[in-house]
Amino acid sequence: MKSFDIKTKIYFGDNALDRLEALPYKRVLVITDPFIEKSGMLQAITYRLTNGNIEFDVFTDVVPDPPIEKITAGVEKVVSYNPECIVAVGGGSALDEAKAIREFARKVTGNNEVALIAIPTTSGTGSEVTSFAVVTDSAQGIKYPLVSEDLLPTEAILDAELVKSVPASITADTGMDVLTHALEAYVSTENNEFSNALAEKAIEICGTFLLRSYLDNNDTHARKKMHVASCLAGLAFNSASLGLNHGIAHAIGAQFHIPHGRANAMVLPHIIEYNSDINKHSKSRPTYSPCVKKYVNAAKLLGVNNFNEITTVRALVSYIQFLMKEMNMPLSISQCQIDKNEYFNAIDKMAEHAVNDACTKTNPRVPTKMEVASILEHLYE
Ligand SMILES: NC(=O)c1ccc[n+]([C@@H]2O[C@H](COP(=O)([O-])OP(=O)(O)OC[C@H]3O[C@@H](n4cnc5c(N)ncnc54)[C@H](O)[C@@H]3O)[C@@H](O)[C@H]2O)c1
Ligand SMILES: [Zn+2]
């Protein structure tokens, strides 16, 4: 038996932020990253809380890939301020930090009633609708997803006004995260008709609007579409989970601090080849694994239609590499100014972490540690 539900209520479209004026809470803690505060974007949140006569305090101790120390500081803040609701504003790092803070604060206070409103300012992680929060254990060099329905935000607000300021390189990284979420959910062992419908729409939007968003910051139509695609892909993987691509990206991200979406993008062509068992030397076969059909569908949704299974999967890989080049993204680790010896010395550890990552469990092909190490080696060049 399977089930599908969307617990998080989603507000979207023009002026979606106005929802904040009508929140049924009197005391709110806003958790956001320092950029959102310094840039003045936070005012779009706080003036609406003020209009709604809602008392608030702000916690800005958020850094990319939230480490456990920051979560502890946030828990202390929640315990002392005792809010009825947390409003998390920012990229996936701020949202995940807030999700983890609320979860650990619950354990300290025993109060399970604190609501969480997630307001993404990047179009990437879909964290506003997922039961995942990715945290980093800096001492161990591990990045791992906490997964629990208790992490699901109460509400999500998608207002594309907040993503207008995202610079091109972050648009590229986060946009490729969306595409990776959708593709991984689409071929996951837990994929189902509901998650597939969501993933297909997200893939289609990425094909039409990701490059447009990258090329022109002022293309608000494209930005609005990518903001919705990010959420659709989040809903897809919240149902179907992800795969080895994220397992490897977490391992590399923890070790070498490559932005999450960028790491995913570099890994993606390798994972499509690995999962489909199709590479540039492949010849036609009478049968293919079920994920090949999915990759062929995905290619068609992206407008990459080709002669047969092999050529279409190859075209999908080429399309992803083309997109990355157009968006000036590195295609390999060697293009990320990472020392070769340091990288190769870390492969064994990264392969171990990737195989054991919670996301890897639903990959369509069960990887061995040696296979993952081989992917990591190829990723360097
Ligand atoms: N919980 C989930 O379901 C999930 C899914 C995928 C990834 N993640 C995690 O999310 C994190 C990545 O999140 P992200 O890709 O959104 O990046 P991020 O939150 O780390 O932000 C990246 C940078 O973008 C800046 N930024 C954010 N909004 C901006 C805006 N509107 N204008 C200009 N700059 C802005 C931030 O200040 C930061 O410097 C990683 O830790 C990743 O592992 C979580
Ligand atoms: Zn991701």
pLDDT in tens, 218-274: 999 999 999 999 999 999 999 999 999 999 999 999 999 999 999 999 999 999 999
CATH for 169-380, options being 1.20.1090.10, 1.10.3720.10, 1.25.40.10, 3.40.50.300: 1.20.1090.10
Quick one: tokens of 130?
Answer: 């997922």
Sign of the torsion angle spanned by Cα atoms 266, 272, 275, 277: negative
Cα-based angle 176, 234, 142 (whole degrees, multiple of 5): 70
Ligand 1 atom nearest to 35, measured from its CA: 37
Q: What is the mean pLDDT of residues 128-137?
A: 94
Closest-CA residue, ligand 1 atom 27, reads 91
**Statement: residue 144 has pLDDT above 90:** no
**Rounded mean pLDDT of 122-143?**
93
**Mean pLDDT, rounded, for 346-365:** 97
CA distance 204 to 99: 29
Helix (H/G/I), strand (E/B), else coil: 6? coil
Partners of 145 in the β-ladder: 134
Around ion ligand 2, residues with a beta carbon closer than 5 Å are: 177
Assigned CATH for 9-165: 3.40.50.1970
Q: Which ligand is nearest to the CA of 184?
A: 2
> Mean pLDDT over all residues of the chain?
96
**CA gap 204, 312 in Å, rounded:** 16
Mean per-residue pLDDT for 347-365? 97
Ligand 1 atom 41: residue of nearest CA: 65
User: Residues with Cβ < 8 Å from 288, sequence gap 6 or more?
Assistant: 276, 277, 278, 309
Say if strands 132-137 and 142-147 run parallel, antiparallel, or are unpaired.
antiparallel
**Residue 325: what pLDDT?**
98
Considering the chain, tell me which residue range(s) the CATH 1.20.1090.10 domain(s) occupy.
169-380
From-to residues of CATH 3.40.50.1970 in the chain: 9-165
Which letter, b or e, does each residue of 210-241 get, where b requires 16 or more Cβ atoms within 10 Å of its Cβ? bbebbeebeeeebbbbbbbbbbbbbbbbbbbb
Q: Indicate the top mutation candidate among 36, 260, 353 to test ligand 1's pocket, ranked by most ligand atoms within 8 A of CB.
A: 260
d(CA 186, CA 180): 10
> CA-to-CA distance for 214 and 175, rounded, in angstroms?
9
| Per-residue pLDDT tens digits for 12-31 | 999 999 999 999 999 999 99
User: Residues near 54 by Cβ (< 8 Å), separated by ≥ 6?
Assistant: 20, 23, 25, 26, 27, 28
> For residue range 172-226, what is the model confidence (pLDDT) as tens digits?
999 999 999 999 999 999 999 999 999 999 999 999 999 999 999 899 999 999 9
DSSP letter at 67 equals B
Examine the pLDDT at 299 and tell me if it is beyond 90: yes
Q: Which residues line ligand 1 (CB under 6 A)?
A: 33, 35, 64-65, 90-94, 96, 121-122, 124-127, 130, 132-134, 162-163, 165-166, 170, 174, 177, 260-261
Substitution site in 71, 96, 241 for ligand 1 pocket (most atoms within 8 Å of beta carbon): 96
pLDDT computed for residue 306 by the predictor? 86
